[in-house]
């Protein structure tokens, strides 16, 4: 008989511990949730509850400003406050019976304005610049403002917002020649000079958009001479053979065709002619030679 008491209903031997029956029952209860080989296994489902966070009101005091009784100007603003909600559109209203005399309406955000730098001008920019370059800085009044170049339509110029302005309430921007600049895109000869950029700034409300002009002063870089000394080589007077070479030099210009000649009155005796083209395609080899017999 003692051995029979130590067996369960299925004839299996019980373990000798106070909680063995409870543990065994719990194991049988939970087994379907963890043993996926059993046909009647079911997944564990957890139910959660999402709460909608209420709007956050700022700058709204518990008591309003005192006003005198009697006639009041229609639509007089008594107080301005703000309300934000992370995911919902917020509307506000006055509860009855005060709604008979007061109302809440959406305030219009004031348009940003240019503080400094617009209208503006860059320093002189050489037309042989082909790297990103800062041209100038301007400031607006609204910290939510973003700005861009709208005319001409180009990728050569861009607006960059300064990460840490002097006054956080007055964002600062810089006008840049972008990394997309090429020699042809900034050529002095192919566009109006100075080049006016139309800059548009917005706070997200299109009715508040503002525009201004920033002029880019592109200058034509002069040719660069190489191997041209201040004084020439000594030559003896007397008869000289025509087209005798006196000196060879080179001249380079980033975007223009270069022509060279001797000035008057020396051009009666000397001439400048093209030499053998150098390996640098932007340059030209020039030869100074005599053009006549010289006595």
Closest CA to 132 of 189, 190, 182, 171: 182
The residues pairing with 200 across neighbouring beta strands, listed in sequence order, are 148, 211
What is the structure's pLDDT at 13?
58
Q: Is residue 286 within 8 Å of residue 260, measured between CB atoms?
A: yes
**Polymer length in residues for the chain:** 295
Taking the C-alpha atoms of residue 271 and residue 262, their distance in angstroms, rounded to an integer, is 6
What is the structure's pLDDT at 175?
96
What is the structure's pLDDT at 5?
56
What is the structure's pLDDT at 281?
41
270: tokens are 């000397």
What is the structure's pLDDT at 172?
97
58: tokens are 């700022």
What is the structure's pLDDT at 160?
96
What is the structure's pLDDT at 31?
64
What is the structure's pLDDT at 73?
65
Taking the C-alpha atoms of residue 293 and residue 288, their distance in angstroms, rounded to an integer, is 15
- In 10 A of CB 172, how many CB atoms? 19
Residue written as tokens 């800059």?
Answer: 199
Closest CA to 113 of 36, 210, 188: 210
- List all residues 6 or more positions away from 248 whose beta carbon is below 8 Å from its beta carbon: 227, 275, 285, 286, 287, 288
What is the structure's pLDDT at 292?
37
What is the structure's pLDDT at 268?
74
Cα four-point dihedral sign 255, 259, 265, 270: positive
Taking the C-alpha atoms of residue 26 and residue 169, their distance in angstroms, rounded to an integer, is 64
CATH architecture of 114-219: Sandwich (2.60)
Work out whether strand 120-121 and strand 210-216 pair parallel, antiparallel, or are unpaired.
Answer: parallel
Number of alpha helices (DSSP H) and beta strands (DSSP E) in the chain: 2, 16
Taking the C-alpha atoms of residue 199 and residue 159, their distance in angstroms, rounded to an integer, is 9
Assign 258 to helix, strand or coil: coil
Which positions of the chain have pLDDT values less than 70? 1-48, 70-75, 96, 237-243, 254-255, 275-295
Cα four-point dihedral sign 161, 163, 165, 170: positive
What is the structure's pLDDT at 37?
53
Residue written as tokens 């304005």?
Answer: 113
Distance of CA 27 to the CA centre of its chain: 62
Closest CA to 85 of 43, 125, 119, 56: 56
- List all residues 6 or more positions away from 146 whose beta carbon is below 8 Å from its beta carbon: 161, 201, 202
User: Where are the domains positioned within the chain?
Assistant: 15-43, 114-219, 224-290
What is the structure's pLDDT at 284?
47
């Amino acid at each position: 008989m003692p051995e029979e008491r130590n067996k369960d209903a299925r004839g299996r031997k019980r373990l000798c511990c106070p909680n063995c029956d409870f543990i065994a029952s719990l194991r049988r209860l939970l087994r379907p949730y963890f043993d996926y080989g059993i046909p009647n296994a079911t997944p564990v489902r957890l139910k959660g509850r999402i709460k909608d966070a209420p709007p956050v009101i700022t700058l709204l005091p518990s008591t309003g400003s005192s006003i005198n009784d009697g006639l009041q100007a229609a639509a007089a603003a008594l107080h301005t406050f703000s309300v934000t909600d992370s995911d919902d559109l917020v509307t506000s209203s006055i509860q009855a019976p005060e709604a008979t005399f007061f109302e809440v309406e959406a305030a219009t955000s004031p348009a940003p304005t240019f503080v400094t730098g617009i209208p503006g001008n860059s320093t002189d920019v050489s037309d042989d610049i082909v790297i990103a370059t800062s041209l100038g800085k301007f400031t607006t009044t609204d910290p939510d403002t973003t700005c861009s170049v709208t005319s001409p339509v180009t990728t050569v110029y861009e607006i960059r917002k300064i990460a840490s302005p002097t006054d956080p309430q007055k964002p600062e921007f810089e006008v840049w020649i972008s990394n997309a600049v090429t020699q042809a895109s900034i050529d002095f000869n192919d566009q109006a000079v100075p080049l006016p950029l139309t800059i548009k700034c917005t706070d997200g409300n299109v009715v508040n958009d503002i525009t201004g002009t920033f002029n880019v002063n592109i200058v034509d870089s002069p040719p660069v001479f190489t191997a041209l000394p201040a004084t020439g080589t000594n030559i003896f007077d007397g008869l000289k053979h025509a087209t005798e070479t006196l000196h060879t030099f080179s001249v380079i210009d980033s975007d223009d065709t270069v022509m060279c000649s001797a000035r008057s009155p020396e051009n009666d005796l000397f001439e400048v002619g093209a030499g053998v083209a150098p390996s640098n395609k932007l340059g030209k080899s020039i030869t100074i030679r005599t053009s006549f017999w010289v006595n």
